[in-house]
Chain A
């Protein structure tokens, strides 16, 4: 069982996007929060999309850098995760939402990741702080 309010962090190279390592790490938080099975896939997806975001936008081209992933369990059934990087300032929450009404021919093939994150996360916030991008999301047992 986790201590309420305790946090755990993992710092790892952001490129190539370290999906397996971070997913494995954050799933420990899911276990501590007793998230149900249905939420685990969604948690994987949130991590996947946000790590890709850091890899592509915070550290563009060949720019190296780390991402620090921190999770906490603020209450039973709730998991809070922060992804922090010292890359280029980028607020993914300010990106234009995709136009889901366009036909197949007119639809761009990208731009769906952040839309997925905004829809699935229970809470989502971004702040730029002393050179850090800090993106925090919450996911709960009932979300």
Chain B
């Protein structure tokens, strides 16, 4: 039984670049308390001129509906600029949550970082 890990510090977002694409490596848990951090990181990428943002979710273990709001909000913003939020490598509960809410069909979802940055 793992210990509860839903404190604010449990989300980490690292900004990297792969093949000239900005890639946010999102790890930990995303809920109401920390989802805005993801939006802030994406806003910074957009402000820097990126219209395509890749989010590597391989290390994300939990997302609530408040986290989904952030993904949707960023995806809409990027789409309005002719770009996209590309999600990749989601698994487990996170993938289940995206499936249940039908977001796998409306968001750009990739199997790997390599395919998402093309």
Q: Give A contacts to B, CB under 8 Å.
A: 17, 19-20, 23-24, 27, 30-31, 37, 40-42, 44-45, 48-49, 52, 98, 100-105, 107, 109-110, 112-113, 115-116, 119-120
Contact = CB atoms under 8 A, between A and B. Distances in A.
Instruction: Give the size category of B's interface with A.
Output: 20 to 34
Interface string B86-118: 000000110001001110011100000000000
B4 A20 contact: yes
Interface secondary structure of A, over-half rule: helix
B31 A113 contact: no
A41 to B, nearest CB: 4
Interface stretch (B12-20, B41-49, B67-75): B67-75
* Among B33, B64, B66, B105: residue with most chain A CB under 10 A: B64
A44 B100 contact: no
A102 B105 CA distance: 10
Interface of B: 1-2, 4, 6-7, 31-33, 61-62, 64-66, 68-69, 72-73, 75-76, 79, 92-93, 97, 100-102, 105-107
B1 A107 contact: no
Closest 4 CB pairs of A and B: A100-B102, A113-B65, A41-B93, A109-B72
